[in-house]
Amino acid sequence: MNLRVIVRVLGIVAVLLAGIGVSLADEVVITYQAKLGSGPELQPGTYRVEIVKNQDLSEAAFYRGDELIAQVSVAIVVESQKSRHTEVHFENLDNGRVINQIRVAGWKETLVFREPTPASQVD
C-alpha cells in the first residue's frame, strides 16, 4: 500500500469518527424517585447511562436492560480530575426531588441537568 492510500483511509476514518460523536456509558444507582432537571422522572433503581457528545448538543440516555427509560439534554462540564466515586446530586423542591448533577466514578465529566442551589444534597 502506498502512502497516499494510507493517508486517504486515515482521513476518511477521522471524518467518520468526528461525525459520530463521542459516547460514554456506565451504571448509576438512583436511590430516590427524582426528575432529571426539568425533564422526565426516574424511579429508584440501577440504570445504564449513556452520554452522546456531539458538537452542538449532548444527551443522556438512561436504560434498564435494553429498554430506554429516559432521554434528556445535558450539559457536560469537564473536571480537572476523574471522580473517585459515583455521586448523584439532588435537591428537594416544591414539586419533588430533582437530580441536578451526576458524577460517575472514573469520568472527568460532570453531567449537569440543572444549576444547583446552595442547599443541594448528595446521594
pLDDT band for position 95 (cuts 50, 70, 90): confident
pTM tops 0.85 = no
Radius of gyration of the chain (CA): 18
Q: Looking at residue 20, what is its pLDDT?
A: 46
In the predicted structure, residue 15 carries a pLDDT above the cut 50: no
Burial of 108 (C-beta count, 10 Å sphere; 0-12/13-18/19+): middle
Q: Looking at residue 16, what is its pLDDT?
A: 46
Grid cell for residue 19: 461525525
Residues contacting 49, CB < 8 A, separation 6+: 25, 26, 27, 28, 60, 61, 62, 63, 102, 104, 111
In the predicted structure, residue 64 carries a pLDDT above the cut 60: yes
Lowest-confidence pick of 6-10, 54-58, 60-64: 6-10
Structural domain boundaries in the chain: 22-122
